[in-house]
Structure 1
Amino acid sequence: MSTAFAAPPLSRDSDLPLAEQLAGRFAEMIRQHHLSPGARLPSVRSCAQTHGVSPYTVVAAYDQLLARGLVESRPQRGFFVRAQPVGPARATTPAPHPFQPSTPIDATTLIRGMFHEPGTRPMPGLGTLPPAWLDAAMLGAALRKVTQGERLEALSLHYGEPQGDQRLRDALSHRMAELGLRAAPEQFITTVGATQALDLVSRTLLRPGDAVLVDEPGWAVEFARLAQLGMRILPVPRGQDGPDLAVLAHLAQSHAPKLYVTVSVLHNPTSAMLSPGHAHQVLKLAEAHDFHILEDDVYGFLAPPHATRMAVLDELQRVILVGSFSKALSPSWRVGYIAAPPGLVERIVNTKLLTTLTTAPLLEQALAWCLEQGLMRRHCERVVAQLDAARTRCMQLIRSAGFQLLSAPQGLFGWVDVGVDTERLVIPLLEAGWLIAPGALFHAHRQPSTLMRINYASSQDARFWKTLQAEAMRLSSQRPSTAR
């Protein structure tokens, strides 16, 4: 496939039969991880209409994929991508815990597709800001500043501090104080992005078989990571004000969870914000049922300063706050942090030592300089202003296409209802050159959904919405969907 995803029409002048061309196209999508295990291929009739071929050609193509072990046929349901083996099976495989779901999707599919823009065209399914919105000049100036004279040798030729660079921890302490969180520099641990921060806390506090509460919808990579660690994942429905408190209380009473992983500020994928009332109730439940709260603040730099954070209300007693610079500054600057209760800091640092030893002091000092000079704050103010304009444009396009936005228009992401199962839109949109993030990706247990996440910053092209509208209407005319 081309780097922009869009594929040329099948050629009747080619030496390869049409069925072989079509099979090769799907095989390449699977090989490139653009179609994850469990993804459903278009129906025979739909695929034939899309590519202008006969149903017999599509059946022959699917038969070739079956023969190659790339897909499987499910009676009365269709054809689905098979999970490919990664190595020899073990002689003894422990039975899964009854509450532990299998990984809901191939999470690496999401990572490969959403964090590596496939071409010059902005992609609505991406989870990052467009490169043009980022400030490479600021990053370069920061690196030059902290590597002047003999500083380069000191920062480059030695291990960093296990807990993280002191200068950055000082700057983080000051930043959090501005948000109302009083945390000493000694309570911060630097990490390789927020993903490692989440992983270090999980590995420190949890053991295989422990129950973990998660938001649903939520971040699919987090579901997959916890499942891989052997945790029992307990989804809690997430609304505009926060988690469903009744479900949260029931699960806490029934399963004695050790941890609740949640996003209070600009929740992914809905951009919802936790209300103060919900925050207080969640903290009461955590105290009553003795579990920690892991609060993911990865989008905190894009949020208003008054946003409710449980870490502020709790003053880092049961709450552990993690964050990152990557979402607002640059995806390649993988610097994150943990703000933890004093009694957990040494345990988390020990886990960090066993996994990555230390983190890069050069980048950490460069980011400290950006914070100290107010450059990070001014950069984020510019990004927030651009997002405001992008949301206005996207709202017009969503309404024009006849779709509905189910979340408040704020932050980076919108949660859009298009009226048909969005997972069935993945392939036709991919072939038209658009990468989307269907709602099924954000559920701990895979299920059809008429919802999809859009990135406001990369969803402003009217051509995308026209293509999405046409494909949704085509699917709706074939079989009305009531998925949610």
Structure 2
Amino acid sequence: MLTRDATTTLTEQLAERYAERIRSRLLAPGARLPSVRDCAQRHGVSPHTVVAAYDQLLAQGLIEARRQRGFFVRNAVAPARSARAAAPAESRPVAPVDATALIRSMFHHPGTRPSPGLGTLPPEWLDLSLLGGALRRVSQGDGLAGHALHYGDPAGDGRLRAALSLRLADLGIAAEPAQIVTTLGATQALDIVSRTLLAPGDAVLVDEPGWAVEFARLAQLGMRVLPVPRGADGPDLAVMRRLIEAHRPRLYVTVSVLHNPTGSSLSLAGAHQLLTLAQAHDFHIVEDDTYAWLAPAHAPRVGALDGLQRSIYISGFSKILAPSWRVGYIAAPPALVQRLVDVKLLTSLTTPVLTEQAVAVCLEQGALRRHAERVVVRLDAARARSIDLAQRHGCTTATPPQGLFAWLDTGVDTDRLALALLDDGWLIAPGSLFHATRRPSGLMRINVATSQDPAFWRALDRRRTELQRRGARA
């Protein structure tokens, strides 16, 4: 909160608060700042103080005034920082207003309150003893020297790839160990596939709403991102056909099971139609199954239906073991494997053998399966509680909630709601983040495991009411 007994004036404090968010790209270029009246009410200061603070931001070249529209973050941000801004900032949640900010928000201080906008399980839900035991097992005796003093196999540790082949068989996906390439998490797996199969200017189909980081990553590689509306049973196939005919895409990247952010899963009929389109128009389907351990094993996987011919399967372990355990993998058609390994060599040489062997132990002993079963039971209870709180505080579910996330309609612009809740110390993921082209949205994604605090919902209800009143007066 702004303080009247601080060593700086209220104007300086307010200007520095927005300046820090802009310099850190937590307010994206083009983002609109609150109106003078809204900002004054939000921070409990006079309109004169807000005008003076915005004047300071204008003078620093951080924002621009647009006639009869308000104040907006400039596209070119000055690199200079004040001495005060350069000092270590107090650890606090940050509002994810673009893809990179959403990534930064994952690295919040563990001592902060739960963040409904994050995409990981709470630390207390994870099994530290499971990880520690697996590491001790693979590093005892001569194991540590054997794993730590040499590069591993470029395709990934053989023991883990054998265990992954058995894991995929449980999902109905037939993949020999030689068809599997390990990676530094599912994000690197997606990057390796993109760099192997695409060239700048190629068209790529993606789900919308979808994962903002994937949109940004593809765009940075120079690809043309083609959003396909995502429904309860999968993509809108009519829209997809029109895009295919007009742009001849090379890939379709999709979260087939427990889609982020809607929680929906691809139907069996939808998966069959997708494969028919891929075969007819010569493109690959990249199946991102990041949340596989939270989903039923019997949920339809594209890779199971076509035997990894047109499909490429990607998954990982950071969502179920620990965020820092960046172990992922690709299961691909045999003809693509060596090309994928070559790109992996160019981007990371290899992957850590010790961690991969530890994951293999967790798989071989069934410990990971048992841990996942416990998490799913706990997640079911958390989802029921979070949805009950959401509905009691005026939110509705846009899709049936499943898995880790719920996709909620708040009835107000969630970009504005995110900024207001940030002042209360709560982080949410506004709906605009999940669109390839940013636009206002009344939707937000919550993590049901970290949204069980009634204090959060009371804060949301209060801030939403304030925004609705301001909108009625405008």
Given the superposition, is the C-alpha separation of residues 185 and 324 from structure 1 closer, same or farther in structure 2, using an over 3 Å criterion? same
Given the superposition, is the C-alpha separation of residues 41 and 457 from structure 1 closer, same or farther in structure 2, using an over 3 Å criterion? same
TM norm structure 2: 0.94
Aligned to 2:73: 81
Q: 1:69-148 maps to which residues of 2 (within 5 A)?
A: 69-84=61-76, 106-117=98-109, 119-148=111-140
Q: 1:174 and 2:163 equivalent?
A: no
> How far apart, in 2, do the equivalents of 1:363 and 1:423 lie?
39
Aligned to 2:175: 183
For 1:250, the aligned partner's letter is R
Unaligned runs of 5+ in 1: 1-7, 88-103
- How many pairs does the alignment contain? 457
Aligned to 1:91: none
> How far apart, in 2, do the equivalents of 1:40 and 1:115 lie?
25
**8 Å contact from structure 1 (residues 256, 289) kept in 2:** yes
Post-superposition shift, 1:227? 0.3
Of 55-64 and 450-459, the range deviating more from structure 2: 55-64
> How far apart, in 2, do the equivalents of 1:205 and 1:32 lie?
33
Identity, % of aligned pairs? 66
Q: 1:294 and 2:292 equivalent?
A: no
Q: 1:39 and 2:4 equivalent?
A: no
* Aligned counterpart in structure 2 of residue 334 of structure 1, from 323, 326, 334: 326
> How far apart, in 2, do the equivalents of 1:238 and 1:416 lie?
15
Aligned to 1:98: none
Post-superposition shift, 1:15? 4.3
Unaligned runs of 5+ in 2: 80-95
* Aligned counterpart in structure 1 of residue 403 of structure 2, from 385, 388, 411: 411
Post-superposition shift, 1:336? 0.2
Aligned to 2:361: 369
Post-superposition shift, 1:346? 0.4
Given the superposition, is the C-alpha separation of residues 480 and 353 from structure 1 closer, same or farther in structure 2, using an over 3 Å criterion? farther
Aligned to 2:457: 465
Aligned to 1:57: 49
Post-superposition shift, 1:480? 5.8
Given the superposition, is the C-alpha separation of residues 338 and 80 from structure 1 closer, same or farther in structure 2, using an over 3 Å criterion? same
For 1:411, the aligned partner's letter is G
SS at match of 1:238: strand
Write out per-residue CA displacement over residues 242-279 of structure 1, whole angstroms, 9 at most, x where no aligned residue.
00010011101110000000000100011111111111
* Aligned counterpart in structure 1 of residue 209 of structure 2, from 195, 214, 217: 217
**8 Å contact from structure 2 (residues 26, 97) kept in 1:** no
Post-superposition shift, 1:85? 5.2
TM norm structure 1: 0.92
Aligned to 1:388: 380
* Aligned counterpart in structure 1 of residue 428 of structure 2, from 433, 436, 448: 436
Q: 1:234 and 2:226 equivalent?
A: yes
* Aligned counterpart in structure 2 of residue 425 of structure 1, from 417, 430, 433: 417
Write out per-residue CA displacement over residues 38-59 of structure 1, whole angstroms, 9 at most, x where no aligned residue.
3322111111111222112111
> How far apart, in 1, do the equivalents of 2:198 and 2:379 lie?
37
Of 244-253 and 59-68, the range deviating more from structure 2: 59-68
> How far apart, in 1, do the equivalents of 2:435 and 2:114 lie?
25
> How far apart, in 1, do the equivalents of 2:228 and 2:64 lie?
32
SS at match of 1:433: coil
Aligned to 2:91: none
Q: 1:314 and 2:311 equivalent?
A: no
Post-superposition shift, 1:19? 1.2
SS at match of 2:300: coil
